[in-house]
Chains A and B, each alone.
Chain A
Amino acid sequence: MAALVAKDLRLESRRRETIAGVLVFVLLVLTLFLFALDLAPGEARRLAAGVLWITLLFAGLLALGRTFAAERDQGTLDGLLLAPLDRSALYLAKVVATVVFMGLVEIVALPIFAAVFDAPMLTPGVVFTVALGTVGFAAAGTLFAALAAQTRARDVLLPLLLLPLLAPLLVAAARATDDLLAGAATPTSAPWWELLIGLTVLFLGTAVLLFDTLVEE
């Protein structure tokens, strides 16, 4: 499995334009939000959590579209499926690769968000929330990216399938971030971290059980 993760990451590092592309996309969406919302200085912080998570979600969709595209275009998925390894290892490797990929984007994006919104986004709490949200997103996203990759109109289908299922993730991650930006050490309005962890475990569990049926044949 480590080899699979390494393979995906090596491929991505050789094509640096993908990660740069997603990063530029994040900054572009942020800029467009600021144009569209036209915030007064005091209002910015109240919207910071929401803008951060919507941006990360869209960027994540862009990244997910890539995870299976290369495998499909070059026919390497068949090779991987023929390899004597557990299918769920293939899924978990893709999840890890997506988390690392998104993590690299977030490392650059978070300080920029912190500066633009003048909000304390580089605290351990916020970083922890972003990490939890990213893992949950990758867990559900990889399953449905694998599914959508094999259909026509995959670019339309992936967000349609994924976003309603990720509604709780968005609520939990954005509310938790909002609580933390207001100065709390841990989320105060509800046990959001626990919900994020539970959601991630649930997605990972069902995906490991069901991934097999998606890639058979």
Chain B
Amino acid sequence: MNVYRSVETTAALPEVGQRERESSSHQDRGALLADPWFRVPFALTVVAMVAALYAIFVYAPPERVMGDVQRIMYVHVSLAWLSYLAFFVVFVCSVAYLWRRDERWDAAARASAEIGVVLTTLFIISGSLWGRPVWGTWWTWDPRLTTTAILWFIYVAYLMLRAYVPEVPRAARYAAVLGIVGFVDVPIVHMSVTWWRALHPEPTVVRPEGPLMPSEMVVALVLASVAFGLLYVTLMVVRVRLERLKDEVRYLQQELSLRGE
């Protein structure tokens, strides 16, 4: 609304913030470390990460053919599960936002999309690092790699869309549409590229006949996944809180500029 005014009003903001703080209704909003919703997942993440590192590098045996390189798999596979989860959360929050029109759903979708893009980027990089010594190439057009690349493009576009539409209710609606259509599109992308190319190792953990790897490896993989899962939760808590604070700042700015008239 008053986009042009926001520059001059930012100067007046700290004062309002102060008043809010004195009235003490929002006192703890900014204090991240004091919040149990942050502290508990954060502490668990640290513990799980240490345990996962021990399991990956000490507890799990080296793979017979690939040797130590195979240890990337624990991180890679965990990142893969997590990035799909993150985009699934975007989908669910997008649907919930369009249905309920509550900005909290949109903040969660925004946060999860951003974390999902970071996880997918790491997932692709870790896969490349593994692919180079094992397959002899950084990248191939294998179905799963191709699907992941397309997935990455879709959600980068999602973040671009958010950057290009500054007005929040409109950006939220547009992004929700993309969050839904994008997620629905993923199985079809996967199907099309599977028919197009078929080199990636077959699933060795989630199989009807039970896992194909020694139990130490399964333990390491599960621990790594749990650690990354907790990291996701911690990041979500921080990001959602940040998005909510941004929303609040925007409201205050609007309110101030209205009052200034």
Contact = CB atoms under 8 A, between A and B. Distances in A.
A165 B165 contact: no
Interface in A155-183: 156-157, 160-161, 163-165, 167-168, 171-172, 175
B172 to A, nearest CB: 10
A206 to B, nearest CB: 5
A167 B150 contact: yes
A16 B196 CA distance: 39
25 contacts: A147-B161, A151-B161, A151-B165, A151-B174, A152-B165, A156-B164, A157-B157, A157-B164, A161-B178, A164-B157, A165-B181, A165-B185, A167-B189, A167-B192, A168-B185, A175-B195, A191-B195, A192-B195, A195-B188, A195-B192, A210-B180, A213-B98, A214-B173, A214-B174, A214-B177
A217 B156 CA distance: 27
Contacts of A168: 185, 188-189, 191-193
Contacts of A6: none
B153 interface: yes
Interface of B: 98, 150, 153-154, 156-157, 160-161, 164-165, 170, 173-174, 176-178, 180-182, 184-185, 188-189, 191-193, 195-196
Residues of A in contact with B, size category = 35 or more
A164 B160 CA distance: 13
The 7 closest A-B pairs by CB, nearest first: A190-B195, A168-B192, A164-B153, A171-B192, A160-B157, A164-B154, A168-B188
Contact of B182 (A150, A156, A165, A207): A165
Contacts of B178: 147, 161
